[in-house]
């Protein structure tokens, strides 16, 4: 009750400040909490040690789970193109859902811009994957900004937002890893805000653990000594053609997938996450040392998940749990500590939550729903269902227990009982005893399509062959980017 009382008190204060007439914008804003938004790239929900992964080391994220509230069932709505990250970030930043957002955010307002209008100093470092025009509209300042593309993290081209608000290329020190430079920029920004008297929003978005997964050598050595096991739902080959079997991310390993290859990919993935965790730790230490931690809300999340051997897949261009389920932790003044909730939510619910916490109104078109009622303990549930979509190839819906995935191009359905089968290994769609569940979930999926403006028919009159023949497929030698 103590924590809830503190939160309610904080909220009343925030509302009072926001409502106070005649107060200068800067004066009102100075009493608003800062926001430190930590946003990783392609990080599966199950890659934090404190949340149950005994094969990975993430001490700083572990600490954050103890200091805040973990949302254990947070989802990406999906992707309109192979570069799922682009759709994810567009939804996050605008608060719009998949079929209402433009991937380049052209003409669509963003949440960070609303924070700037309310008197916040806004700053970005790390990956931006929407258009430059939308970047400059969204943030006041930025350093070590990575505008997409991909390659050696020691050589990535970086940019800054100049004082006259233009994007300018940035000279980078030799031999420094990009993720370290992002953390350096965030640390510098936080230190500079100590005496500014203005609230701030720092958006720290390392392009990590996205491939190529190149961490400093010692991190790879650590995991190569003890390679993680393959996931329970490992398969050598996906059992049917989901429409996106040979896209670039799927070509990162040969077919059939082997346990040895998957374990090496996981070792590299975990190495990169542990390295990033340390860089996040540097940013969090700088925040604490600056004396601003007590007035800063910290968010940690990722833009999408990844397969890495689950179901015979490697990428994020599918709707299994590993691809659409992300970590989410919120910590800070008034947020319950060491708490976990399984309320179903979307990534695009995060900024509306921050908006309610700070008294800032969302941009036009923002559809996300604030998680504050969950944080305040007023309710244990947030959304009844989660609807996910990938191009025209796949549609899915889950509720508290059941999940349906539809593959319209091949007229295929999968039905999973997530309560007994969280790894989605036992398809019940063909079982007569579950015909009622299949019909109910299909109706739910169609209702969600209607609610979110999705026009795709779930059944094709001329279905493609469902078999996936990999005999002529070869892995990429030098994979080109697909962010």
Please say whether the dihedral angle defined by the alpha carbons of residues 130, 131, 135 and 137, taken in this order, is positive or negative. Answer: negative
Nearer to Ca ion, 206 or 334 (CB): 206
Q: Decide whether 303 or 454 has the Cβ nearer to Ca ion.
A: 303
Radius of gyration from C-alpha coordinates of the chain: 22
Query: Would you say 71 and 371 are in contact if contact means Cβ atoms under 8 Å apart?
Result: yes
Least Å from the CB of residue 321 to Ca ion: 16
**Smallest distance from Ca ion to CB 93, Å:** 14
Residues 299-338 contacting Ca ion, CB under 5 A: 303-304
Lookup: tokens for 170: 């940035």
Helix, strand, coil content of the chain in percent (nearest 5): 35, 15, 50
Nearer to Ca ion, 42 or 448 (CB): 42
Does residue 41 touch Ca ion according to CB under 5 A?
Answer: yes
In the complex with Ca ion, which residue's Cβ is closer, 268 or 303?
303
Closer Cβ to Ca ion, 91 or 187, answer by number: 91
Per CB under 5 A, does 103 bind Ca ion? no
Residues of span 67-96 touching Ca ion by CB under 5 A: 85
Minimum CB distance to Ca ion, residue 205 (Å): 10
Give the separation between CA 264 and CA 259, rounded to whole angstroms. 9
CB of residue 287 vs Ca ion: minimum separation in angstroms?
25
Please give the order of strands across the beta sheet that includes 412-417. 78-79, 386-390, 394-398, 402-407, 412-417
Q: How far is the CB of 210 from Ca ion (least distance, A)?
A: 6
- Cβ-based nearer residue to Ca ion, 31 or 248: 248
Please tell me what DSSP assigns to residue 33: P
Binding to Ca ion (CB under 5 A) within 431-460 occurs at none
Which backbone phi and psi does 366 adopt, to 5 degrees?
Answer: -65, 125
Q: Does the footprint of Ca ion cover residue 42 (CB under 5 A)? A: yes
Give the nearer residue to Ca ion in terms of CB position, either 46 or 437. 46
Stretch that binds Ca ion, among 36-44, 119-127, 189-197, 451-459 (CB under 5 A): 36-44
Q: Which x/- pattern, by CB under 5 A, does the window 285-304 give for Ca ion?
A: ------------------xx
As a whole number of angstroms, the distance between CA 458 and CA 294 comes to 49
Stretch that binds Ca ion, among 40-48, 55-63, 167-175, 467-475 (CB under 5 A): 40-48
249 binds Ca ion (CB under 5 A): no
**Are the C-beta atoms of residues 37 and 201 closer than 8 Å to each other?**
yes
Could you tell me the smallest distance in angstroms from the CB atom of residue 325 to Ca ion?
A: 13
CB burial readout 340-363, b (16+ within 10 A) else e: ebebbbbbbbbbbbbbbbbbbebb
* Residue 326: strand, helix, or coil: strand
The span from the CA of 194 to the CA of 290, in Å, is 6
Signed CA dihedral, 213, 215, 217, 222: sign only: negative
CA nearest to 166, candidates 189, 129, 203, 140: 140
CA distances from 8 to 4, 28, 59, 286 (A): 6, 19, 30, 28
Q: Cβ 159 to Ca ion, closest distance in Å?
A: 19
Name which of 274 and 304 has its Cβ closer to Ca ion: 304
The residue among 322 and 413 lying less far from Ca ion, judged by its C-beta, is: 322
Question: Among 37-45, 90-98, 227-235, 323-331, which window interacts with Ca ion (CB under 5 A)?
Answer: 37-45
34 φ, ψ (degrees, to nearest 5): -75, 160
Give me the residues paired with residue 341 across strands: 71
Return the range that interacts with Ca ion (CB under 5 A); candidates 42-50, 95-103, 148-156, 471-479: 42-50
User: Minimum CB separation from Ca ion for residue 82, in Å?
Assistant: 11
Residue 165: both structure tokens together: 């608000």
State which residue, 85 or 329, has the beta carbon closest to Ca ion: 85
CB of 148 to Ca ion, least distance (A): 11
Total residues interacting with Ca ion, rule: CB under 5 A: 5
When the beta carbons of 60 and 304 are compared against Ca ion, the nearer one is 304
Residue of closest CB approach to Ca ion: 85
User: Does 140 interact with Ca ion (rule: CB under 5 A)?
Assistant: no
Least distance to Ca ion from the beta carbon of 448, Å?
A: 23
CA proximity to 406, closest of 446, 434, 464: 446
Q: Which is nearer to Ca ion, 41 or 211 (CB)?
A: 41
- C-alpha distance from residue 40 to each of 79, 257, 370, 467 (Å): 17, 26, 21, 35
Report the nearest approach of Ca ion to the CB of residue 303 (Å). Answer: 4
User: Least Å distance between CB 41 and Ca ion?
Assistant: 4
Burial (0-12, 13-18, 19+ Cβ within 10 Å), 36? buried
Diameter over CA atoms, the chain: 72
Which residues contribute to the site for Ca ion (CB under 5 A)?
41-42, 85, 303-304
């Amino acid at each position: 009750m103590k924590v809830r009382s503190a939160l309610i008190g904080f909220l009343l204060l925030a509302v009072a400040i926001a409502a106070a007439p005649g107060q200068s914008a800067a004066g009102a804003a100075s009493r608003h909490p800062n926001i430190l938004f930590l946003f990783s790239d392609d990080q599966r929900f199950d890659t934090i040690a404190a949340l149950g992964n005994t094969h990975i080391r993430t001490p700083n994220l572990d600490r954050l789970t103890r200091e805040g509230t973990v949302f254990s069932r947070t989802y990406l709505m999906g992707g309109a193109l192979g570069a799922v990250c682009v759709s994810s970030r567009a939804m996050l930043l605008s608060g719009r859902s998949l079929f209402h957002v433009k991937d380049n955010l052209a003409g669509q307002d963003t949440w960070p811009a609303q924070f700037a209008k309310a008197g916040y100093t806004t700053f970005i470092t790390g990956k931006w994957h929407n258009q430059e025009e939308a970047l400059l509209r969204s943030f006041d300042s930025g350093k070590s900004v990575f505008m997409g593309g991909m390659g050696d993290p020691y050589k990535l081209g970086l940019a800054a937002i100049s004082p006259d608000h233009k994007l300018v290329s940035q000279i980078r020190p030799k031999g420094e890893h990009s993720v370290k430079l992002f953390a350096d920029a965030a640390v510098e920004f936080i230190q500079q805000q100590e005496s500014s008297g203005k609230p701030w929003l720092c958006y720290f978005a390392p392009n990590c653990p996205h491939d190529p997964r190149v961490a400093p050598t010692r991190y790879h050595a650590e995991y190569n000594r003890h390679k993680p096991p393959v996931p329970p739902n490992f398969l050598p080959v996906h059992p049917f053609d989901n429409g996106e079997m040979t896209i670039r991310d799927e070509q990162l390993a040969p077919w059939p997938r082997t346990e040895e290859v998957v374990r090496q990919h996981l070792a590299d993935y975990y190495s990169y996450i542990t390295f990033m965790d340390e860089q996040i730790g540097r940013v969090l230490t700088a925040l604490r040392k600056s004396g601003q931690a007590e007035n800063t809300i910290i968010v940690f999340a990722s833009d999408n998940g990844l397969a890495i051997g689950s179901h015979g897949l490697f990428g994020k261009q599918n709707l299994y749990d590993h691809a659409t389920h992300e970590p989410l932790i919120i910590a800070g003044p008034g947020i319950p500590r060491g708490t976990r909730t399984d309320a179903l939510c979307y990534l695009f619910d995060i900024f509306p939550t921050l908006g309610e916490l700070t008294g800032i109104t969302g941009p036009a078109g923002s559809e996300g729903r604030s998680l504050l009622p969950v944080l305040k303990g007023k309710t244990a549930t947030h959304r009844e269902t989660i609807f996910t979509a990938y191009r025209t190839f796949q549609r899915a819906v889950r509720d508290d227990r059941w999940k349906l995935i539809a593959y319209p191009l091949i007229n295929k359905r999968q039905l999973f009982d997530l309560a007994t089968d969280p790894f989605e290994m036992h398809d019940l769609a063909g079982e007569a005893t579950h015909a009622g569940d299949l019909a109910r979930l299909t109706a739910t999926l169609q209702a969600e399509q209607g609610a979110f403006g999705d026009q795709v028919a779930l059944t094709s009159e001329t279905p493609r062959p469902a078999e996936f023949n990999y005999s002529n497929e070869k892995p990429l030698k030098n994979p080109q980017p697909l962010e």
